[in-house]
């Protein structure tokens, strides 16, 4: 019985890791667990420091009535559960590379980047501050992102990278992700540092948007220059 409880608890944690912030009701439905059962496992995971309970940000998660708390993976939980996924992902990508060179790996990296772009744009649709909205979206995806204002623009800082170990061996993932960030923000961006390459954080520089002067000069003969 104890072993079964541990396995179920791992399934709950992995479900949060794979699907992002989730309510107890959603987790119970996803894993076919009773309300009492899911609450017990969540309480034990919180006690172990593997997950955290937070107020939901998305209106879609809140639903009607009193907003339900969402459960997210803590840094300690990510460290514990991500390593096995990292090793499996690296092994899978190495096999893909050995079978067809970098073609399949590049295709996977682009597919992942396209998915990030689609989800981010949906999440940011009603927010006029694109950079702040993007940082909020990335935080929900496990990147713990923040924004620093600089004289020449902004720096998007990701304090955590869920795929750092994999991206260290397959830089295509970082390159495709950077391209996705550029498309999301509608401007060229530059990666200054990445956790995958041994830096403490991932830093992406976002230059200030250059506005063009729409008033053209009038020449002496009355023609627009």
pTM passes above 0.95: no
SS3 214: coil
Cβ atoms of residues 195 and 144 within 8 Å: no
Q: What is the rounded CA–CA span in Å between residue 138 and residue 202?
A: 12
Which tokens sit at 168? 């260290």
Which residue has 């597919």 as its token pair?
111
Residue 139 in this model has a pLDDT that exceeds 60 = yes
Q: What is the rounded CA–CA span in Å between residue 212 and residue 208?
A: 12
Q: Of 125, 175, 134, which is closest to residue 156 (Cα–Cα)?
A: 134
Residue 160 in this model has a pLDDT that exceeds 90 = no
The stretch 114-141 carries a mean pLDDT of 92
Cα of first residue to Cα of last residue in the chain, in angstroms, is: 82
Question: 2-73: what fold?
Answer: Arc Repressor Mutant, subunit A (1.10.10)
Give the residue range(s) of CATH 1.10.10.10 domains in the chain.
Answer: 2-73
Residue 48 in this model has a pLDDT that exceeds 70 = yes
Q: Which of the given ranges, 118-122, 200-204, 219-223, has the highest pLDDT on average? A: 118-122
Strand partners, 191: 204
């Amino acid at each position: 019985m104890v072993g079964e409880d541990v396995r179920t608890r791992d399934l709950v944690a992995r479900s949060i890791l794979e699907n992002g912030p989730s309510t107890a009701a959603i987790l119970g439905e996803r894993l076919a667990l009773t309300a009492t059962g899911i609450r017990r496992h969540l309480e034990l995971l919180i006690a172990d420091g593997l997950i955290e309970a937070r107020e939901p940000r998305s209106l879609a998660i809140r639903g009607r009535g009193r907003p339900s708390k969402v459960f997210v993976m803590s840094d300690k939980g990510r460290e514990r559960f991500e390593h096995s996924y990292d090793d499996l992902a690296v092994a899978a990508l190495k096999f893909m590379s050995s079978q067809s060179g970098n073609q399949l790996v590049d295709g996977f990296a682009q597919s992942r980047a396209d998915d990030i772009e689609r989800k981010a744009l949906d999440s940011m649709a009603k927010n006029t501050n694109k950079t702040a909205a993007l940082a909020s979206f990335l935080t929900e995806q496990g990147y713990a992102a923040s924004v620093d204002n600089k004289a020449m623009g902004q720096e998007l800082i990701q304090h955590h990278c869920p795929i750092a170990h994999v991206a260290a061996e397959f830089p295509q993932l970082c390159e495709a992700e950077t391209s996705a960030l550029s498309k999301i923000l509608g401007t060229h961006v530059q990666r200054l540092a990445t956790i995958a390459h041994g830096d403490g954080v991932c830093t992406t520089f976002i230059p200030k948007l250059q506005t063009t002067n729409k008033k053209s000069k009038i020449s002496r003969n009355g023609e627009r220059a």
